[in-house]
Amino acid sequence: MKLISIKRETRPEARFTPKMGALVTNVTYIKKQFLSIPYKTLHKYRETYYGEVKDCEECNLAL
């Protein structure tokens, strides 16, 4: 049994960019888990319509 594992999870989120406005995009989280309990997010990114992979620091959460 592994004590520490890494899991990738994708879920849709509402984001806001100044150029495009509000959009709903799939955001992928890479999380580190200890005994199947997530405790640290290593990286999060999103894939654009054109297939580019961008870091989520470039866009803000829409309110």
Whether pLDDT at 12 is above 60:
yes
If you average pLDDT over residues 35-48, what whole number do you get? 86
Helices and strands (H and E) in the chain: how many: 0, 5
Whether pLDDT at 59 is above 70:
no
In whole angstroms, what separates CA 62 from the centre of its chain? Answer: 15
* The pLDDT of residue 61: 57
pTM, two decimal places: 0.72
Average pLDDT, the chain: 82
User: Residue 31 is which amino acid?
Assistant: K
- Count of residues in the chain: 63
Q: What φ, ψ does residue 58 adopt, rounded to 5°?
A: -80, -25
Pick the range with the lowest mean pLDDT from 13-17, 39-43, 46-50, 58-62: 58-62
